[in-house]
A and B are shown apart, each in its own frame.
Chain A
Amino acid sequence: MEIPYTVKPRPDTGLINSKIGIWLFLASEVMLFGALFSSYIILRIGSESWPEGSSYLSVPIGTFNTLVLISSSITMVMAWASLKLKNFKKFQIYMGLTILLGLVFLGVKSFEYYGKFSHHHYPKESVFFAIYFTMTGLHALHVICGMVVNAYFWGPGSKMWQTNPEQFTNRVETSGLFWHFVDLVWIFLFPVLYLL
């Protein structure tokens, strides 16, 4: 028994199963982060005096991290495009860069967290810090998940390139879609938390 349309798209929908699956999953992720952003809006509108918050955060560091994550999205696309061009060596380089940039992002984020903790800014200090730590923490968790998947395709998972290159390319595209989504969430988080 074989599940159809795992590699070749179904003619009338023009899609493979995993592509629909990941888009549906991302739709649910939009609702997850949408609920958190809505909570932020409701809390901020409802509060009599919004606690001092964004002035504690460093805009240059945040901007740097935004650039890091955007670059990693570019290398992610390049990794997938290299597979499309049947260039496995280039795929390894670009995928490696993507993972590395993810690590840089997490490193900078930990540095920021460390700075807050060492100045005794904890989530319980105010609603602002509660939102800041919860949302960036949940986002970091998504970054880690994306990196684990990417690392698998860079390492042991890449053996599939020898046996079924088409499916391997599809898998990288799928994890790429997730990675871009994680990037996109940060692009919303950065102005909301650092600039407003």
Chain B
Amino acid sequence: MSDHNHEKLGFWRKYIFSTDHKVIGLQYGITGSFFLFFGFCLMMLMRWQLAYPGQPLPFVGNLLGESNMPMGYMLPEFYNALGAMHGTIMVFLAIVPLIFGAFGNYIVPLQIGAPDMAFPKLNAISYWCYLLGGVVMVASFWAPGGAANSGWTSYAPLSVTATIGQTYWLFGMVLLITSSLLGSVNFITTVVQLRAEGMTWFRLPFFVWAQLVTAFLLLLAFPPLEAAGVLQLMDRLAGTSFFMPSGLVVGGEALGISGGGSPLLWQHLFWFLAHPEVYVLILPALGIVTEIIANNTRKPLYGYKIMIYSILFLGFLSFIVWAHHMYLTGMGTTVSTFFQTTTLIISIPSVVIITTLFITLWGGSIRFNTPMLFALGFLPMFGIGGLTGLPLAFNATDIPLHDTYYVIGHFHYVVAPGTIFALFAGVYYWFPKITGRHMSEVLGKTHFWASILFMNGIFMPMFIQGMAGVSRRLYDGGATYELAQGVLHWNEFMSISAWLLALAQIPFLINLFWSPFKGKKANDNPWEATTLEWSTPTPPPHGNFLEAPKVYRGPYEYSVPGSSKDYSPQSQKEI
């Protein structure tokens, strides 16, 4: 009976207020892509000021309002708001919703053989909370004094005394956190309860494991930031002093507050979330890359179980490394030593995962299609990001590098050519399942080579600038600093790379909008893959599977000796 009802759903129920995990996944995807573009635009504006400090930005500059860019000259406050909002939007409104909300929602129920998420209505609610949080964040640009401008970390006391945009930021964060919490409860319940018959824990695709660990990180790490957000709201709105020390003087005037609070407390609460958050950004990316590499090498994943144990260990350990962001706060050498040790230990499981992926490549007959290129591009880029983190993990070497462009380079190598490449790989890989058509390989490869070139053009010079000591928070990119003079010419190079990177996305956009209508038709399993999402009709209908699937084998049985084809789907009984 219910199936008939679904056929008759009107436009609004089917596409807007849907409870189907695939529609919600696409909603997350579209909204997240918008915010990804928005955050990218903020960065392109900043790069103008860094490359040509004090010069008016032609055309665009005049459109951004007298309070932000009078006559096209960027004001320092606006630059700070761009920096804070670029970080916030990219992390909380773009990457997490895309990699967890969009890919997780669309793919996880399909890969475990479930008809939908365990709580479909809750799933819709978490999307709408996310959208509302995003609207509040964007609206803050029109607040008096502009958007939040205390950095994406919102360190107190600066953030407590900041303009009203910071209050918008806090309300937006509370909504986003609520959305993530509901989403993670839903994901974990789905994986535990709705696995198809025969889908044991060690037959789950690695992508599902990655999403499961991610969901636990979101579930347990986000509430402390929610608590911190509530406390900062109290500080801002009710005049309390949770994060305000006694005797604080701002602009030559003593603040009329009770004092007795601790600015360090904010940092602890913030990084207790924000370090696991880094793994929220990277673990699902590793999951996507693993799926694609196993499929395109046509051989079983090397060390599937080792990878799972590694990711579980990594998830656990990510809760006790947060204070490596705070070596310079004077929290004491004993504490620093502890966090230095845990930080070095956490690099072990990361290296294990990357190494097993490299070993999987060994001896495979690799298909170099577009998703595979992005997955292969991910490996060295994530490798650079990870290895450049080691000097930051050591207490002693972190001191000169802290808060320089070196940190920005390190972090962006992990997330931009790392996670975003995995996102692109995922789009190219699952596109035929979602639309029934392939994306163009020519446009895809153009997109890949241009992107990897310009990504490195942006982020590689940051290491050079950072090691010269250029701080990450300079309005003029270091032009007025003696120490920056030798590396200043890189600013223009990086900015031009950033703008060219924007142009490099045009082939992708053409591909994305053209291929659903004109692309080469794809069958139900165009990549000859083994996991369950490829045994559904294309595109999967509401309820996903025509009949409840049964699972007979592990997720990566490629080139099984004695089999007639080089892949054995999980739902196939005989070899």
Contacts and interface: CB of A to CB of B under 8 A. Distances in A.
A35 B432 CA distance: 45
B44 interface: no
B194 A32 contact: no
Nearest to B241: A127
Contacts of B543: 1
B301 to A, nearest CB: 25
25 contacts: A3-B120, A4-B115, A13-B192, A17-B118, A21-B185, A28-B219, A28-B220, A28-B223, A31-B221, A31-B222, A31-B224, A32-B224, A32-B226, A34-B224, A39-B231, A42-B262, A43-B242, A124-B238, A124-B258, A126-B258, A130-B241, A130-B258, A134-B234, A134-B240, A134-B242
Contacts of A15: 192-193
B119 to A, nearest CB: 6
B289 interface: no
Contacts of B122: 21
A10 interface: yes
A46 B242 CA distance: 12
Interface of B is mostly: helix
B67 interface: no
Interface of A: 1-5, 10, 13, 15, 17, 20-21, 24-25, 27-29, 31-36, 39, 42-43, 46-47, 51, 122-127, 130, 133-134, 138
B192 A31 contact: no
Interface in B408-448: none
Contacts of A25: 181, 185
A35 B188 contact: no
Contact of A3 (B185, B194, B260): B194
B303 interface: no
Interface stretch (B265-273, B349-357, B453-461, B487-495): B265-273
A8 B184 CA distance: 23
A5 B227 contact: no
Nearest 5 CB-CB pairs, A to B?
A1-B543, A124-B239, A35-B224, A130-B240, A32-B223
Interface in B254-301: 257-258, 260-262, 265, 268-269, 272
A33 B224 CA distance: 8
Contacts, number: 129
Contacts of B262: 42-43, 46
B2 interface: yes
A125 B289 CA distance: 54
Contacts of B193: 4-5, 10, 13, 15, 17, 20
Nearest to A36: B227
Query: Quick one: which of A10, A17, A27 has the most chain B CB within 10 A?
Result: A17
B225 to A, nearest CB: 8
A15 B192 CA distance: 10
B238 A127 contact: no
A14 to B, nearest CB: 11
Nearest to B233: A134
Contacts of B120: 3
B257 A124 contact: yes
B479 interface: no
A39 B224 CA distance: 10
Contacts of A29: 223
B395 to A, nearest CB: 22
B485 interface: no
Contacts of A42: 262, 265, 268
Contacts of B222: 28, 31
Nearest to B116: A3
B258 A127 contact: yes
Contacts of A35: 223-224, 227-228, 269, 272
A92 B240 CA distance: 43
B359 interface: no
Contacts of B184: 24, 28
Contacts of B116: 1, 3
Contacts of B194: 3-5, 17
B154 to A, nearest CB: 16
Contacts of B260: 43, 47, 51, 126-127
